[in-house]
Structure 1
Amino acid sequence: MLSEAQDLLSALDFTTTDHETYSFASSDTPKCDLDVEQLEVAATAGDLEAVKSLTDKIKRSRGAQRATLPSGSALMFAVDCGRKDVVEYLLSEGLTVHTTHVKVATINRDTAVLELLFTHGWDVNTPIEWCVPPALAFAVEDSALVDWFLANGADPNARCLLDTTPLSAAVEFASLPTIQRLLDQGGSVACGQLMHYALRRKSNDRLQIMEYLLQQPSPPPVCKLMYEDEPWWFESQKFFGLGTPLHDAAASGDLDAVRFLMANGSDPSIKDSLGKLAIEKAHKHGHDSVVLFLRSRSDQSTSSPTAEPHL
């Protein structure tokens, strides 16, 4: 069963494999496809001799190009079931390593299979998807697995097209010692939108994590909009209302985080990409305690009246 963290990661396309993708539903399945189904069953069971026999049969049969999926359905099942011998054989037959194989092996904490995937050409720092960073992001809840990835060249700062890194996942899901370990191994608080991800922590130590990040040399900004330094992505996502960490905390009703951010230099007069203030985000979501706090701070400030929202 996936942990809560993995469920949440799935919302960012950190998804596990849907085995139905590799099923053949028609009752009129061609013989070559039946051979593939049998190969999948053998791979799942770890029956190496049957896998070899069926692979040879498929290679010699007509329509073999259709029977063998580009990344190998049988390989997917073998990876998911931890059938190392079958994985090694299918890779030797030329099947291609796919992001899903790496993702599932990481979630399964199967370093033996991961080592085979990396040996057969997968770069440990390749993003899982365009919006999902490399596989280290899936390992952050397991300190031993993090150490294994680091020993095999994983970069805590390796990003996808978005400014999201394994360290982004760590500040949302990992323990403080793991975050410290990643920073000690070259992790940078200057990338990965870390304050935004730290705010998403479900554990009660989110303020401790944010404080730790702000204590680092060149700490992450608290007064910049998300993706503000990534012009292309900012323009493509600004319609979602990209804000500062204070906007995020206000929108979620996290009064403790709002207090913390204000005490550490957040500016409540900054508007998000839709022109909304943090206090307006809190009001929209019905977080009265946050509204009252931000209003009291606004009353104490010397901001011009035009900066104040009409709530």
Structure 2
Amino acid sequence: MTTYNLKDDRPFRENDKYGLEVPEIVDFYCPDHPLMQQLCDACARGQLDEFKRLVEEWKAKGPPPGPEHYPLGTLEPILFFAVRQHQHQIVAYLLDEGLKRSELVMVHVHEFRCRPPMLQVMLDRGWDINYTDSPADPPRLAFVLDDKELVEWYLAHGADPNAEAKYGWTPWLRAIVWAPLDIIKTMHAAGGRMDLAVPFVCFGRNYRSDKSPERLDVLRYLLDNGADINSRLFAHNHYNRGAYFDPGSALNLALGDGQDEIAEELLDRGARTDIPAGEMMGHVTALERARGKDVSPHLLAKVEECRRREVAEAAKGTPAEDAD
């Protein structure tokens, strides 16, 4: 029989960010007990009936149980082991026997990229699919965007693409930045907010991998489906709007980051050149940004022409604006 080292892979250490519901349970772990090794072996082989038999044996004469209020806690290392082995039936059995579905269990589920059967076990036992305990990170849907099967499962089971962390990130907005176009389409069909999306096409370019979607195709898809071309980055959230110095609209971002093709597409689609950035960026507009950056003469001329057109259109019904 294979020897399984539960001692060096303990699922909880003091001061872990994600703790156990009963932290003191580690004092009752018995990783070297022969029965624990037998349980691991049955789990690794997917032998549910044998695993149940061993648990009943443990209840009768096994190692000392956990504390009085949590006698099954001694088996917690086996629960984490079963998650890592993707043995969803054994995990379901242990949870139904009385082991706790702590946040640390969910960390294991996500870190080991468990598939829908394991996720369903957790969902059936009280997991909130739209929960996040991080002010910066949105719910878990946002972290499976490279896996179409998981994205579709999450959406089919109640995941909200617009579920928002404190600082404004949602699964939908992360998808605009990092996901392939087909995933973006799936998220849009599930209700992704088009009023917020466009600036995120221009966001985080230096952090995207070579597998990232073609930005121009994403932009065109969003605009073809009614996205607000002039929305501000993090318009819905003052925390991150301030954290990123409120750069303004997608056109401001594209011009400032040398994304000329994106900027041209935005101008061709009617993006405004007079939307100012926030105070920390000096209220600079797209026109001012284009004049102050090393943009091509062609692009600068296009921005200036668009600005003249905006002024002319405004002059038809209001006092003329300053074209400069």
Shorter-chain TM-score above 0.5: yes
Which residue number corresponds to residue 177 of structure 2? Answer: 172
What is the distance in 2 between the residues matched to 1:296 and 1:82?
Answer: 59
* Structure 1 residues 174 and 106: alpha-carbon distance in aligned structure 2, compared to 1, 3 A threshold: farther
TM-score with structure 1 length normalisation? 0.66
- The higher radius of gyration belongs to 2
CA distance in structure 1 between the aligned counterparts of 2:135 and 2:86, rounded to whole angstroms: 26
Residue 143 of structure 1: which of 145, 148, 165 is its match?
Answer: 148
2:164 maps to which residue? 159
* 1:100–1:128 contact (8 Å) kept in structure 2: no
Conserved 8 A contact 1:79-1:105: no
Deviation at 1:114, TM superposition (A): 0.7
From the superposition, tell whether residues 208 and 103 of structure 1 become closer, same or farther in structure 2 (CA, over 3 Å): farther
2:261 maps to 1:242 = no
- Aligned AA for 2:198? M
Aligned-pair distance for 1:299? 4.3
- Is 1:98 the counterpart of 2:103? The answer is yes
Tell me the SS of whatever aligns to 1:164.
Answer: coil
* Aligned-pair identity (%): 23
Q: Does residue 81 in structure 1 map to residue 90 in structure 2? A: no
| Residue identity in the other structure for 1:98 | E
| Pairing of 1:16-31 with structure 2 (within 5 A) | 22-23=12-13
Q: Which ranges of structure 2 fall in alignment gaps of 5 or more residues?
A: 1-8, 15-23, 45-50, 312-319
How many residue pairs get aligned? The number is 272
Q: CA deviation at 1:306?
A: 8.4
Structure 1 residues 289 and 98 mapped into 2: Cα distance closer, same or farther (>3 Å)? same
Q: How do 1:229-308 residues align onto structure 2 when only pairs under 5 Å count?
A: 229-231=236-238, 233=239, 237-243=241-247, 244-273=249-278, 274-276=280-282, 277=284, 278=286, 288-289=294-295, 292=297, 295-300=300-305, 301-302=307-308
Equivalent position to 2:198, from 195, 198, 206:
195
Cα pair 1:103 1:135 within 8 Å, conserved? no
TM-score, normalised to structure 2's length? 0.64
Residues 102-148 of structure 1 show CA distances to partners (whole Å, capped at 9, x for unaligned) of 68438615112111111110122223633322222223322222222
Structure 1: which 5+ runs fail to align? 1-18, 25-29
Helix, strand or coil at the partner of 1:22: coil
Equivalent position amino acid for 2:228 in 1: P
CA distance in 2, matches of 1:271, 1:256: 21
- Measured in 1, the distance between the counterparts of 2:39 and 2:219 equals 45
Conserved in 2, the CA contact under 8 Å of 1:247 and 1:281?
Answer: yes
Q: Distance in 2 between matches of 1:173 and 1:43?
A: 41
1:281, CA displacement in angstroms? Answer: 6.4
Q: Partner residue of 1:129? A: 134
- Give yes or no for contact 1:76–1:101 (8 Å, CA) kept in 2: no
Question: What amino acid sits opposite 1:289 in the alignment?
Answer: V
Q: Please give the per-residue CA displacement for 1:200-225, whole angstroms capped at 9, x wherever unaligned.
A: 46535211111111112xx3333232
User: What code does the residue aligned with 1:195 have?
Assistant: V
Q: Does 1:210 align with 2:215?
A: no
Q: Aligned runs of 1:10-21 on 2, under 5 Å? A: none
Aligned residue number for residue 17 of structure 2: none
Amino acid in structure 2 at the alignment position of 1:262: L
**Contact between 1:140 and 1:146, CA under 8 Å: does it hold in 2?**
yes
The answer to whether the Cα contact below 8 Å between 2:82 and 2:90 also exists between their aligned partners in 1 is: yes
Q: Which letter maps to 2:253?
A: D
1:118 to 110, 114, 123: 123
Give the residue type in structure 1 aligned to 2:220: E
Change (3 A) 1:115 1:240: same
Which moved further from structure 2: 43-52 or 194-203? 43-52
Quick check: 2:162–2:170 contact (8 Å CA) kept in 1? yes
